[in-house]
Structure formats: structure tokens, C-alpha cells
Chains A and B, each alone.
Chain A
Amino acid sequence: MDFTVTLAQIKPKLGCVADNLELIENHIRDAVTAKADLIIFPELALTGYFLKDLVPEVALQLDAPEIIRLLELSRSISIAVGFVEMTDDYRFYNSALYLEDGEIRHLHRKVYLPTYGLFDEQRYLARGERFRAFDTKFGRMGMLICEDMWHLSSSYILAMDGAATLICLSSSPGRGIEGETLGAASAWQQLTSTTAMFLNCRVLYCNRVGYEDGVNFWGGSEYVAPSGESLVRGTILEEDSVTAVVDEGALRRERIFSPMLRDENLFVTMQELRRIERERGR
């Protein structure tokens, strides 16, 4: 079915959960007024990104009042949002929730925690261990958090699991100032487009903006159609709210014209991956 999505390109405050919840609620209210069906927030929208030793201080359990509040709001609009999750055994995850009709439809814990260059996630956070597609009012979806998408297998697994919509929540730092566009932006745009095209999936990419300790986050949130074409894109480096009407017909047509997903041979892939796994274990 067709649905309207809002990509909330916000600027969270570092370590200020209450302020960020208020910001998120305001965006939800506006999106509801604008009759959007789904609103997507960036990675770690409730907390900010370069948390370091703040991780335990801003972490929420799934029954935290902030999550309950968002669950209530999800009765009027579906919500995808990033936060730091604390489990009962005191592990901290870079997590994303998909909330709908007052229920948690899906929880994704970031699998690929970048720990190189300016990133240091695995020092502070535990690693997620699964990619699972899930059903929503708007069809089957999969969620990725930022670096997850840079591993082809993540999107591939979700597509094989039946996701027609890939949601990517991101806090991508801007860098690379020599080209026409920001280096990080053009790399991501190539990635989202290629992923959509190869898997005949639509991609909803939501990236934050603002600065933390001199690092900028570049925004540029976008809706990429299954053809790989970016249909709507947010401004670069500025707060924005991007609205896109996701057209079911475009997915149907693309899957007729370019049925790569239908022809994907899961059997061959699995057979070869099992062989590689076996051989590596020797």
C-alpha cells in the first residue's frame, strides 16, 4: 500500500535524553498533523552520538517511561527511533525501535559497530547479533543502523527475509571536502542507490545534523525508490523534515522490470557460504 513517511532530520543534544524526547515529540506531533503514516528518526536520536562514558547514563530499558511515552504516540503514527538500550544483564546496545499501534514491532541492535578512524563504538557498546525482517502496516520491513548498511550481507539478509522497505537510521559524520559534494554524502548516496537497485527494495535513509566536538553530521536524508533513484532528499548540514509518499506501484513495476530478487538463488548462496565457513574453520 502507499504510505507517507517523514524523515526527521534532527539535531539531538549530546547526552540530554529529556530535551531530545521533547524534540522528537514535537516532530511526531507535526508529522501527525501533516497526516504522515510513519516517522523515522536518526541513529541515537534520543541521546546524541559521541557518548563515550555517557553510554550507561543515557541508556534506557525497554520499559523506561520515555519508551512508554513513544509507544503511546505510536497509536497515531508509526515510529522508528534510535537510542541506547540497556538489557537486564547490563549490556548497552546502539538500538532502534519500530513502534506501531502502541506496540514494539521490532527491536534492532546495531551489529556492525565501527571502531576505526573517528569511530570508537565497540569500546562502549555491545554488538547486536541478528538481522530480522518484520511485518508492519505498510508491508515487511528491515532496519539497519548506519554502519550496518556498509556490509552488503546486512541488506541482503533483510531482503531475503522478505523486507521490501529498508529503513536506515544514521549519524554519519561529514568529511571529504574536495569533490562536488561532501565525500561522505556521495559515498552514502551511491550505497543507498546501489542497495535499492540490486535488491529491488526501497530505502528510507534518515541522517542527523548538527555538530559534536567539531564533527559535523551532514543530513541529506532520502527516499530511494526500488529503481535506485533518489526521489526526495533533505538539505545538507541543516535541520529538515523530509516528506515522501512511498508508492507501492513503483515497487511492483520495478520487480516486474528487473526481477533480480525473484531470481536470486538462495540455495547456491547458502551452499557456497557454508563451504567457505567450513573451509575457514579448518
Chain B
Amino acid sequence: MSGLTANTDLLKKILVGFVADEVHKVGVNKAVLGLSGGIDSALVVFIAAEALGPENVHAICMPYRTSNPESEAHARLVAQACGVVYSVVPITPMVDAYFQQFPDADNMRRGNKMARERMTILFDHSALQRALVLGTSNKTELLLGYGTLFGDMASALNPIGDLYKSQIWQLSETMGVPREVIEKKPSADLWAGQTDEEELGFSYRQVDELLFRMVDLRLTRGELLLEGFEASFVDEIYKKVQNSHFKRRLPVIAKVSNRTIDRDFRYARDWGK
């Protein structure tokens, strides 16, 4: 489908311009982001390095003791490849200290805690360095809700939130992200050997083809079936998008006044910028 094939030169120009413009207009010139060793954060750090200059970008790798050691090696490789400032802040002590009180916590709670621990570190460095936190969630995972609310989904600016995973792969080639990072299997890296596609139960390419037609082209369920998608797959994905919608919105405020924030008190975030 041509819609998932991006003009990567144009895309690069828009996204590099976006980071430069939106960072500079708030009166700072730096960005900070978490580098996981995966492709999404690798792509964002390449975009940021080009937009702000590598010396103004601080990439932080925040491994937990069960993270795959290869991830940290890849994070370092990526940081070196684009020349940004790099540091490692392990989250094992904080996360383990917390779960000593809740030893029975399951993998989901542990994964969410880790994502939120990393978020607090990034926002602390945001204050420390007068730098904006860059988000690294792509459109596929945002639509599926495959992320932690107030964890990896939290950021000041997200350059790749309107790109499907299939487009992330394409743009990463153009931007020069190291090959081993592009080619490895996407993983949340909560434990060794975990992969996104196994956990989700479908491949990114499959779901991107469906999401693009469902969300961007607004095809009806009947039209999707005619295009050859399984009814059960269409229904499963529609439900996932619907059920995760709360993650894509601000907290709901009970309305009592005439001007309630975001309902009838409406301003762009770039108000005065």
C-alpha cells in the first residue's frame, strides 16, 4: 500500500524542523530522551541530533537487571553514531526497593513501574539541564495502547507519534540508524527473549496495513473484509484502539463551571510562542 511508503527525505525535513522549532520556541536549546537500544528511540535521537546539534542532545540508557545486555550495547552504539551526550542510569535499585514491599507483583506491574521510573529520571534531567523530554512512541503502539500511561508515553514533544512502525523502519534507513538496530526484533525488553510481535500476537507489518486503512483511510468493516482482512483480526484491533483511547487523552475533568480546561477553555500549547 503506497500510503505506508513514506517520502523519507520529506519526512526527515518535517520532523527535524519540528524538533528545532518546537524546542527553540520555548526558549531552550536542549533535549533529553531515553535510549533503549531499540529502533524508535534510535530514530528520535538521530532526528534530535540533526535538529539541535548532537552536543545539545542527552541520551540516557536506563537498564534494569533483567534487560538484555545487548540493548545497552546498542544504545551506546546509536549514541556514538550520532555523537550525542550519553549516560547510563540503572533503575534496578529503585525498582527493586519498591517491589520488596510488593513481592507478588506480576510482570505487567513491574513493566509499568520500570517505564514510570524511567520517566521520572528523564523529567528530572529535563529540569537539571533545561532540556525538553522527547517522546519515542510510534503511531502503531499509540493506537494499540501498547505503552505505559505516564511512563514511556509521557513526553514534551513526540516527533514520531504519527509514524507507523513500517514508516519508522523506512525513515531509520534514511537517517543512518545502525543496521543491527534496524534489523533486530522489536522488544519491550522487560525480560530476555521477549518480543513485541509474539506478545501482541501479530506482526507490525500486518497491523500497520490494517490500521492505515482503518484509521487513515476510514474504510468500513465491510470494506476491510473485502480487502482480505480476517473479521476476527479487524474486530480485535478495533477493540484495542477503542479500549486504549483513555491513554491518548488528558484525565477527564468533571465540568461545573462555564469554562472547563480543554472543553471550553481552549488554547494551543504553543500559545504565545
Contact = CB atoms under 8 A, between A and B. Distances in A.
- Our verdict on whether A and B bind, yes or no, reads yes
Judged by DSSP, the binding face of A is loop
Contact of B6 (A178, A180, A181, A212): A178
A15 interface: yes
B179 interface: no
A54 interface: yes
A52 B10 contact: no
Given A53-B265, A210-B21, A237-B17, A177 B271 contact: no
Given A54-B267, A178-B2, A14 B273 contact: yes
Nearest to A120: B266
B103 interface: no
Contacts of A213: 268-270
B18 A211 contact: yes
Contacts of B25: 13
A182 B10 contact: yes
A162 to B, nearest CB: 39
Interface string B4-25: 0111001101100110011001
A11 B7 CA distance: 24
A126 B255 CA distance: 27
Given A14-B272, A214-B22, A216-B18, A177 B267 contact: no
A179 B14 contact: no
Nearest to A214: B18
Interface in B182-227: none
By size class, the interface of chain A is 20 to 34
Contacts of A177: 6-7, 10-11, 14
B50 to A, nearest CB: 14
B7 A180 contact: yes
A177 B216 CA distance: 13
Which of A177, A182, A212 lies at the interface centre, i.e. has the most chain B CB atoms within 10 A of its CB?
Answer: A177
Interface string B116-155: 0000000000000000000000000000000000000000
Contact of B268 (A50, A174, A182, A237): A50
Interface string A33-77: 000000000000000001111100000000000000000000000
A177 B265 CA distance: 32
B3 interface: yes
A16 interface: yes
Contact of A212 (B2, B11, B266, B270): B270
Given A178-B2, A211-B22, A14 B270 contact: yes
Interface in B17-37: 17-18, 21-22, 25
B174 to A, nearest CB: 12
Which of B6, B21, B270 lies at the interface centre, i.e. has the most chain A CB atoms within 10 A of its CB?
Answer: B270
Contacts of B6: 177-178
A237 B13 contact: yes
A210 B5 CA distance: 25
Contacts of B5: 178
B7 A179 contact: yes
Contacts of B271: 14-15, 54
A180 to B, nearest CB: 7
A52 B18 contact: no
Interface in A204-247: 210-214, 216, 236-238
Interface of B: 2-3, 5-7, 10-11, 13-14, 17-18, 21-22, 25, 157, 265-273
Given A13-B25, A178-B7, 14 more contacts: A14-B268, A14-B273, A15-B271, A52-B267, A53-B265, A54-B268, A177-B10, A182-B10, A211-B22, A211-B270, A212-B270, A213-B270, A214-B22, A214-B157
Interface of A: 13-16, 50-54, 174, 177-182, 210-214, 216, 236-238
7 contacts: A15-B272, A51-B268, A179-B7, A182-B10, A213-B269, A213-B270, A216-B17
List the 9 closest A-B pairs by CB distance, nearest first: A52-B266, A211-B21, A50-B268, A213-B268, A53-B266, A14-B270, A212-B270, A177-B6, A177-B11
